[in-house]
Amino acid sequence: RGTRFGGAMTEVTREVFGHMPQEEGGGEVEKFTLKSGSVKVEILSLGCIIAALETRGRDGVFSDVVLGFDTLEGYTRKHPFFGAVVGRVANRIAKGRFTVDGKKYQLFLNNGPNSLHGGARGFDKVLWSPQVLPNGVCFFRLSPNGEEGYPGDLQVWVTYTLSGEELAINYRAQTSKTTPVNLTNHAYFNLAGQGSRDIYDHEISIEADSYLPVDNTKIPTGEVAAVQGTGFDLRQPVELGKHLQKFGLDGFDHNFCLQQEQARHLAARACHPPTGRVMEVHTTQPGIQFYTGNNLDGSLKGKGAVVYPKHSAFCLETQNWPDAVNKPHFPSTLLHPGEEYNHTTWLVFSTA
């Protein structure tokens, strides 16, 4: 079955998950399973993908709460970044353009007129080098100077560690030339269990007094708008289905502005009252993109041959603000040589 490594209460195993197609350079994809008493998570060396995440309901039964595929083939075909680490820059860069140190850069446009999640072959589509830790796994890769149009050799480490009911994801990076960096994980959650029809019965709260309005291509307008009195006020828990109806919203795909200091802070909480599953998101990041799976359309067959219709999952992507490289008043995404990019996000699972 794979090799087993024992840690303090967390068991880590590794096995071969499959091989990349030859046109993608071949290469072995491994799956790492991290298991504690209350959480089991499976992570691939392809794109640092969280392929499964099992957590208990109040009845004590484990369910997989992330969308994805049973086999590698699903992940090597086109899919909406299920479970993956996206980069070099998560979210959108307007017109795929930015200027650093007086030099203009043009990225590939893969999202209408914009560049999204690192470009044509971002961090989600490449193999990472794994190193097993006592309670997790660390993935490394070098993103070479010019990859997807970005400047500088960027060394990146993504470390997943599981302790008890808490999954920590730490992102570190160092560069040889000034470059924008914004890393996140794009897991799609449904706390009723992946394959459940929708997320309307979930209660969501986000610790944000303001959010970023966007234009019709999903680029922030530059305004930092107060949530007070709008459908974006999620400071108290709302039942998602009723809330979307009440405010006539088609769903969310927006950055919410969190507190700016680099200490750990609570960003969001999702609760599924029927099963009692609760997930809290804590982070050191200044923003969180709340996305309600608006572009899922039932065309993808996921795990267990279920389909994933619109609004059948949500993402809570901790990150810097979208298009920050072109918005001087947004928190900076620029990483300079000699500095280290270092952010952590914690997913804490419990029952209510």
Query: Would the annotation count 64 as a binding residue?
Result: no
Q: What's residue 3's pLDDT?
A: 60
User: What is the per-residue DSSP string for 198-224?
Assistant: -STT-EEEE--SEE--B-TTS-B-S--
Q: Is the pLDDT of residue 110 over 60?
A: yes
Query: How large is the C-alpha radius of gyration of the chain?
Result: 19
Q: Locate tokens 């890769």: which residue?
A: 141
Q: Which residues are catalytic?
A: 186, 317
* pTM confidence score: 0.96
pLDDT one-digit tens code per residue, 151-169: 999 999 999 999 999 999 9
Q: Locate tokens 């999952």: which residue?
A: 313
Query: Would the annotation count 209 as a binding residue?
Result: no
- Of the candidates 98, 53, 126, the one whose C-alpha atom is nearest the C-alpha of residue 323 is 98
- Of the candidates 267, 317, 257, 260, the one whose C-alpha atom is nearest the C-alpha of residue 87 is 317
Phi, psi of 96 (to 5 degrees): 65, 25
Phi, psi of 266 (to 5 degrees): -70, 130
Q: Is the pLDDT of residue 171 over 60?
A: yes
Averaged pLDDT for residues 10-33: 95
Q: Is the pLDDT of residue 7 over 70?
A: no
Query: Would the annotation count 91 as a binding residue?
Result: yes
CATH number of 11-351: 2.70.98.10
pLDDT one-digit tens code per residue, 176-193: 999 999 999 999 999 999
List Cα–Cα distances, 240 to 200, 245, 287, 343, 345, in angstroms: 5, 9, 20, 29, 23
Query: Would the annotation count 188 as a binding residue?
Result: yes
